[in-house]
Structure 1
Amino acid sequence: MSASTVMSGASPTEPRSVLVSGASFAGLATAFWLNRLGYRVTVVEVAPGLRRGGTPVDIEGETIAILKRMGLMEAVQARTLPPRRFAFKDARNATLGDMAHHPDDEAGPRYEIHRDDLLDVLCGAIKGDVELRFNRSIVAIEERPEAVSATFSDGSRHHFALLFGCDGNRSNTRKLVFGDGEQFTHFMGGYFYLKVVPDTGLLPPNSSEVFAVPGRMAMLNGYDDRTDIGFGFRTTGEIEYDYRNKDQQRRLISDRFSGLGWKVPDMLAHMGGDNDFYFDRISQVRMSTWSRGRITLVGDAGYCVSPFAGLGGSMAIIGAGRLADALARHPDNHAAAFHAYEEGLRPFVEQVQERAAIDSVQMLFPGDEAEMAERDRKLAMGDIGV
């Protein structure tokens, strides 16, 4: 039975047919492993194509091991970016502390790859084996003992043995299955803006620079042909804004950063008036369980570390790999597989989330004078934990 027959809903559920919601790192990696395990995989994505843009992804530790098992590490290495230097700057552009990232430093191999390149590698690995359906989302989910029924945005309804929510930190799957996503959101006390523009000449290629004053941070990432412009600010509580209103979000950044020194005026000038940028609160997704019946979550949908931490791609690949291992150990028992997946991965997720919530945020943009003094003390000692 083909995937398209399963999608037609004209026949009983095929025991090996599964649905993946979301075609980013978590969805593509999960689809890869499910296909390898012998499932008939359909991926649905609300966007008209792969969601491109964004900052590069760090590949290290367990992520490297999993990509090797997938047979994709050589393709990743072929697209690896040159080593970069990360520097903290003061208002006069003097360096307060810096470090270099090398492919094989003391912490083990570490690579950086453009987000779009990693998407292409993962998508290429499932091409022809997995059914990808864009411009489609799930609007209703009904779980029965023997199957999951999914109603799609085109009005059609289809049945699957299992459903995997891989649709990001604002996961629609999570909302449909577990309820309002706000109950699972842990606000980390700030907001972050990111825009990728052509090379600005504001810093050398293959380098990153950060400037901060209490409660505000400006970051530049330089590459051969582009520059990432980033701003972050701290707040005592959440602010009201419309996540669909790009004009409002631009004004938030302009109002909070106008008048600041360093390279900030030039950064603001490069923001432009288009809507091709990312703005969101800095938050994590924390859930007591990632699974319910025949449905489980992978990556940011279940355990977003924080968009600010830059670990989403790695955590998605690790999550998909760990889930595949659990399904391989329990091939005929999805409940046991989902339990093993969660029990094995949760300690690691909580450790990474805790580190991101404290060390990364306080180091990159201290909230007050006390945190600023502690950051400067660490920089003077060479303790740069980012």
Structure 2
Amino acid sequence: MGTKVKSVLISGASIAGLTMAYWMKYYGYEVTVVEIGAEPRRGGSPIDVRGDALHCAKRMGVLNAIKEAKLPTKGLKFVNAQNEVQGIMLVEEIGAISPDDTELRRDDLVDILYATVKNNVTCKFSNRIIRLDQNEKEVRVTFKDGMEGIYDFVIGADGIHSGVRKLIFGEESQFTHFLNFYFSVFTVDGKLGEQNYAHMYNTPNNMATVYFYNKDSADTLLAFRTSNQITVDRYDIEGQKQIVIDAFKGIGWKVPQLLEELKRSDNFYLDQGCQIKMPTWTNGRVALIGDAGYAPAFPTGMGSTLAMQGATVLADAMAENENHEIAFSIYNENFRAVVEELQATVYDGMSLVLPDTEDKINTRNKVTK
């Protein structure tokens, strides 16, 4: 009698989830991916694949595709209200770990990863997990569409607001560490940017950035500091837009034009700047990867790298250890130092992109001039 093929359900079809799906299939698992969206989770500003994540990509056979999708980024220019350059950081100076670090569109990375699994794993789009019941042998899953399934393991790769984490580990508030800022991402007319550069304009506690990389539209990131958390209805997009409009009222440079673009945007995203910190990323037969378990926040520039790296570390541990408790213990112990070291860099990143005084803005600009 042959050995039973183990099954895994992965919640989330983005960078962490698709990386995990590749490795689980590679290691002989029957893989199902469930995604709340109608397709893999795209969108967002350009991201970086750095350090050990490049090694993961090489092992997966996608490193060349990632390098071919590399953006022709030249650097980041700090500008004043008249759009005069006050300082500049070349691309190789911005958080680089090695010369091979690669910046690409988030959409491109998701598409590259999805191409590795779409023909050999089962994908349940426009669906999500609403109930999880586990015992020492299996996890019983109920989906939103009413269907049920039984899996050997469930992996939560469903982002900062992880549904899997809430069902198994408890309320999000236990693990969210608010960093006293909010950020929004959306696309604007490419004419508002400079080809192959990012332009950043700051006033104390506010930042507006436009990235333009050889397409008709540019990517915009607006961020603002606040001492208090804001009540945000995740389903009220117009209300979310108003929060950003109010935060940037009266600010110069291109901000009035960006806010007009924001009002018309159909791909606007708003969230709090936060990190996810947990004492363990596993419970029984359920594990968390990526932002669901250890979101580092965008000022670190390491979210995608941690997502790919963490998925690979967990998958390797599960392949090397028949006993999942041992595998999960290795994942928790061996990857924690990596996560904590990277999360600790967030404050350096915030001081660069979100200075809270005019003097700090001027000092940064002088240092980079």
Per the alignment, residue 184 of structure 2 pairs with: 193
Question: Could you report, residue by residue, the CA deviation over 1:349-373 in whole angstroms, capped at 9, with x for unpaired residues?
Answer: 11111111x1111221123x2xx42
Q: Structure 1 residues 336, 31: CA separation in 2 closer, same or farther (over 3 Å shift)?
A: same
Q: Structure 1 residues 241, 103: CA separation in 2 closer, same or farther (over 3 Å shift)?
A: closer
Pick from 101, 105, 129 the counterpart of residue 110 of structure 1: 101
User: Any gaps of 5 or more consecutive residues in structure 1?
Assistant: 1-12
Per the alignment, residue 211 of structure 2 pairs with: 221
What is the CA–CA distance in structure 2 between the aligned matches of 1:127 and 1:257, rounded to whole Å?
A: 42
Per the alignment, residue 251 of structure 1 pairs with: 242
What is the CA–CA distance in structure 2 between the aligned matches of 1:224 and 1:349, rounded to whole Å?
A: 33
Matched, 1:57 2:43: no
Pick from 141, 158, 181 the counterpart of residue 167 of structure 1: 158
What is the CA–CA distance in structure 2 between the aligned matches of 1:30 and 1:241, rounded to whole Å?
A: 31
Question: Could you report, residue by residue, the CA deviation over 1:165-222 in whole angstroms, capped at 9, with x for unpaired residues?
Answer: 11111000000000111111000001111101341x1231110111111111111111
User: Any gaps of 5 or more consecutive residues in structure 2?
Assistant: none
Per the alignment, residue 4 of structure 1 pairs with: none
What is the CA–CA distance in structure 2 between the aligned matches of 1:184 and 1:103, rounded to whole Å?
A: 32
Contact 1:285 1:304 in 2 (8 A): yes
Q: Structure 1 vs Structure 2: percent identity of aligned residues?
A: 36
Contact 2:186 2:265 in 1 (8 A): no
Q: Structure 1 residues 339, 189: CA separation in 2 closer, same or farther (over 3 Å shift)?
A: same
Matched, 1:141 2:127: no
Tell me how large the CA RMSD over aligned residues is. 2.0
Task: Specify the code of the residue in structure 2 equivalent to 1:72.
Answer: V
Pick from 59, 63, 71 the counterpart of residue 61 of structure 2: 71
Task: Specify the code of the residue in structure 1 equivalent to 2:105.
Answer: H
In the TM superposition, residue 375 of structure 1 has moved relative to its aligned partner by 4.7
Q: TM-score, normalised by structure 2?
A: 0.94
Question: Could you report, residue by residue, the CA deviation over 1:237-296 in whole angstroms, capped at 9, with x for unpaired residues?
Answer: 112231211111111222221321122122222223344211011111111110001110
What secondary structure, in the 3-state scheme, does the structure 1 residue paired with 2:344 have?
helix
What secondary structure, in the 3-state scheme, does the structure 1 residue paired with 2:363 have?
helix
Pick from 357, 361, 365 the counterpart of residue 354 of structure 2: 365
Matched, 1:202 2:192: yes
Per the alignment, residue 27 of structure 2 pairs with: 37
Runs of 4 or more above 3 Å deviation: 102-107, 307-310
What is the CA–CA distance in structure 2 between the aligned matches of 1:55 and 1:342, rounded to whole Å?
A: 29
In the TM superposition, residue 124 of structure 1 has moved relative to its aligned partner by 0.7
What secondary structure, in the 3-state scheme, does the structure 2 residue paired with 1:23 have?
coil
Contact 1:83 1:102 in 2 (8 A): no
What secondary structure, in the 3-state scheme, does the structure 1 residue paired with 2:270 have?
strand
What secondary structure, in the 3-state scheme, does the structure 1 residue paired with 2:100 have?
strand
What is the CA–CA distance in structure 2 between the aligned matches of 1:157 and 1:265, rounded to whole Å?
A: 49
Correspondence list, 1:275-286, <5 A: 275-286=266-277
Question: Could you report, residue by residue, the CA deviation over 1:127-171 in whole angstroms, capped at 9, with x for unpaired residues?
Answer: 222111112211111111111111111222211111111111100
Task: Specify the code of the residue in structure 2 equivalent to 1:373.
Answer: D
What is the CA–CA distance in structure 1 between the aligned matches of 2:89 and 2:234, rounded to whole Å?
A: 35
